[in-house]
Chain A
Amino acid sequence: MTSIAYPATGLTSPRKRRFTREDRLPVAIGLYVSLFLAIALPLGLMFLWSIADGWPPPHVLPQSYTTARWAGVLGDDGLLRAALNSILIAIVVTFATAVIALPTAWAMARFPFRLKRAVEIFILAPIIIPGIVVAVGIGQVFLALGLAYSVAGVILVQIVGTLPLMIRLMTAALETIPDDLIHAARSLGANTLGIVRHIVLPLAVPGLLAGGLMSFVGSFEEFDKSFIVGAPVVETLPIKLYMYLDPYSMQLPLASIVSFLLLLPALIVFVIAGRVLRDDLMAAGMGKI
């Protein structure tokens, strides 16, 4: 091959070839406006409903405001009980999920074995099968066992939903521990308990934290399974909210308040987690419908 002295095609006159700063600004503005309309607007309206003293049509904004409803929350026994239930259940579920998940995650992370793929898929299954199907399946069994309409029942059924993600997150965290670390520890005299205490647990903390946060929020916001198993005796905040949205007796102000209560821990965790977690993990955890 001899080099062609002059190329045959288009060395045309030089031209500008990328976006300038100025092009980006309308894009940014458009995106932020959409974001505002999609997220801030509904949230803002909900907030207005919660502090409006009656808001009849045709007024676009409430005419008078009151904080009575928010104050009233503290006096509403049913609501307080629901909030307490939610928190209590979430704490227990998170802790239990972590304890159950850890050994399984360790096995998945460190041992190659033949049925691993099958086990992986099985662990993922509770997220793939629609939540309501899982709920009625377990719900019927619990009815028969007498576990329905109890806090224990709700806890047990929620763990089914939190385990898959916790196991996956912790497996990922534990996979990063190099074998050599453990060998080195053994050569320095550590027994199994020592290795778990001083090496595995500390290095598993990121996975534990991520999984713990996800589990807590997941449990706190969980509706389908808790509803089938617990309602109407055991009420969590999401169940309370659902009832306020009954089309025949809709109570928008209370619904709004409960919504904010529900959102609060989720948003806090979200902001913290956003800095710590990778996007794909977040998507897997938060993608609930």
Chain B
Amino acid sequence: MPASLRDRRLLLPLLLAPGVGYLLLFFGGPLAAAFIGSLRLEDGSFTLTWYIRIFTRPSMLRGLGTSIYYGVAPVIVSLLVSVPLSLAIRRHFPGRKLFSGLYKLPLAVPGIIVGLMIIVVFERGGFIDRAVAPLGFGLPKLVRDDWGVGVILASVWKQIPFMTLIITSAFAAIPEDIRSASRTLGASRLTTFLRVEVPLAMPGITAAVLLTFIGSMGSYAIPDIVGPPTARPLSVLMVAEFNQGRFPQVFAMGMVLSAFAVAVLVAYYSLTSRIGDAHGRGDAR
């Protein structure tokens, strides 16, 4: 039916236009403009100085390092908690269903509020500090301290439910028959877990790790509220420069952060394409 085919060719761009068009206009465009802007001096000539500054100026270099630190450190801590947690949730225990709903609550809490929570609980003069005071010692500086413990705690608080969620789904997607098959071939529960389940859940686990890394590396509100003023990540530095109107520098910093995010994603896609669809034709349905 030629008429409808013609329709289709016209129809498709028309349908895609609102969504894709909007994003091109309000996201792609500004981002491209920012990229270009990061490479220009005031007089319009091409320059890399804004990028060079990031990697040479001590404050900015420290900012980059802090961004990466705020990306990596919480993820490691979260993994250490999420993996055992998702394994614990798999088994039956009293109140399991309720728990499975409750542990996801932090997902609904925006970052600023988590910052407030950290302050209320961990800050000097906060709850824990006062609670242990009668025992004769005070809480070490955990908020706005040099190690950014407050930032890590806040990030971890939000990340653990997210990671647990994804990791649990990854394990749950493995067909039960594959576990049974492994057992019938002589593998114990532990061996089955290590040799069969973990490799098959890897794409999901990797996705969780990478997404949370990108998220906490680029986060602004939490480091700004509970992070030390002496070690501000690029995201916070960016806003300071923005408020001063030094846009090219801001753009360069933004591009660096984005480059990290994109690189991480590319790594993820290339890693996981090797395993392919883990649950795919293995059961030929």
A contacts B directly (C-beta below 8 A): yes
A27 within 8 A of B: yes
Q: How far is the CB of B95 from chain A (nearest CB, A)?
A: 6
Of A125, A167, A223, which contacts B110 at CB under 8 A?
A223
Listed stretches B23-31, B57-65, B192-200, B270-278; interface member: B23-31
B16 within 8 A of A: yes
How many residue pairs bridge A and B at CB < 8 Å?
A: 265
* Bound CA–CA A122/B8 (angstroms): 22
Residue of A nearest to B94 (CB): A28
Known: A104-B16, A123-B23. A133 touches B93 (CB 8 A): no
Residues of B within 8 A of A133 (CB): 31, 34, 218, 238, 254-255, 257-258
A200 within 8 A of B: no
Is A256 touching B116 in the complex (CB atoms < 8 A)? Answer: yes
Q: How far is the CB of A8 from chain B (nearest CB, A)?
A: 13
Residues of A within 8 A of B247 (CB): 136, 140
Of A43, A46, A101, A159, which contacts B26 at CB under 8 A?
A159
B99 within 8 A of A: yes
Most buried by A among B8, B27, B37, B131: B27
B171 within 8 A of A: no
Residues of B within 8 A of A217 (CB): 108
Of B20, B93, B117, which contacts A28 at CB under 8 A?
B93
Q: How far is the CB of A149 from chain B (nearest CB, A)?
A: 13
Q: How far is the CB of B170 from chain A (nearest CB, A)?
A: 10
Known: A24-B94, A282-B165. A122 touches B109 (CB 8 A): no
B140 within 8 A of A: no
* Bound CA–CA A111/B14 (angstroms): 12
Q: How far is the CB of A144 from chain B (nearest CB, A)?
A: 9
* Bound CA–CA A129/B217 (angstroms): 11
Is B33 touching A137 in the complex (CB atoms < 8 A)? Answer: yes
Q: How far is the CB of A118 from chain B (nearest CB, A)?
A: 10
* Bound CA–CA A105/B109 (angstroms): 28
Residues of A within 8 A of B218 (CB): 129-133, 289
Residues of A within 8 A of B216 (CB): 289
Q: How far is the CB of A20 from chain B (nearest CB, A)?
A: 12
Is A130 touching B258 in the complex (CB atoms < 8 A)? Answer: yes
Most buried by A among B19, B225, B262: B19
B133 within 8 A of A: yes
* Bound CA–CA A134/B119 (angstroms): 28
A107 within 8 A of B: yes
Residues of A within 8 A of B34 (CB): 133, 136-137, 140
Is A279 touching B15 in the complex (CB atoms < 8 A)? Answer: no
Is B215 touching A163 in the complex (CB atoms < 8 A)? Answer: no
Residue of A nearest to B96 (CB): A28
B155 within 8 A of A: yes
Of B18, B110, B215, which contacts A103 at CB under 8 A?
B18
* Bound CA–CA A58/B262 (angstroms): 48
Mark A20-36 against chain B: 1 for CB-CB distance below 8 A, else 0.
00001101100110010
Is B111 touching A289 in the complex (CB atoms < 8 A)? Answer: yes
* Bound CA–CA A228/B254 (angstroms): 14
A14 within 8 A of B: no
Of B120, B166, B250, which contacts A136 at CB under 8 A?
B250
For window 212-248 of B, CB contacts with A under 8 Å fall at: 212, 214-222, 225, 235, 238-239, 242, 247
Known: A245-B116, A263-B113, A282-B107. A113 touches B19 (CB 8 A): no
For window 91-132 of A, CB contacts with B under 8 Å fall at: 99-101, 103-108, 111, 113, 119, 122-123, 125-126, 128-132
Of B102, B105, B157, B235, which contacts A130 at CB under 8 A?
B235
Residues of A within 8 A of B157 (CB): 38
A146 within 8 A of B: no
* Bound CA–CA A19/B216 (angstroms): 38
Is A58 touching B93 in the complex (CB atoms < 8 A)? Answer: no
Is A242 touching B20 in the complex (CB atoms < 8 A)? Answer: no
B265 within 8 A of A: yes
Mark A252-267 against chain B: 1 for CB-CB distance below 8 A, else 0.
1001100100110011
13 extra interface residue pairs, beta carbon distance < 8 Å, beyond A137-B30, A287-B215: A38-B157, A58-B134, A105-B19, A107-B15, A138-B27, A140-B30, A228-B239, A242-B225, A250-B119, A286-B107, A287-B107, A288-B110, A289-B212
**Nearest 3 A-B pairs (CB), nearest first?**
A130-B218, A104-B19, A286-B107
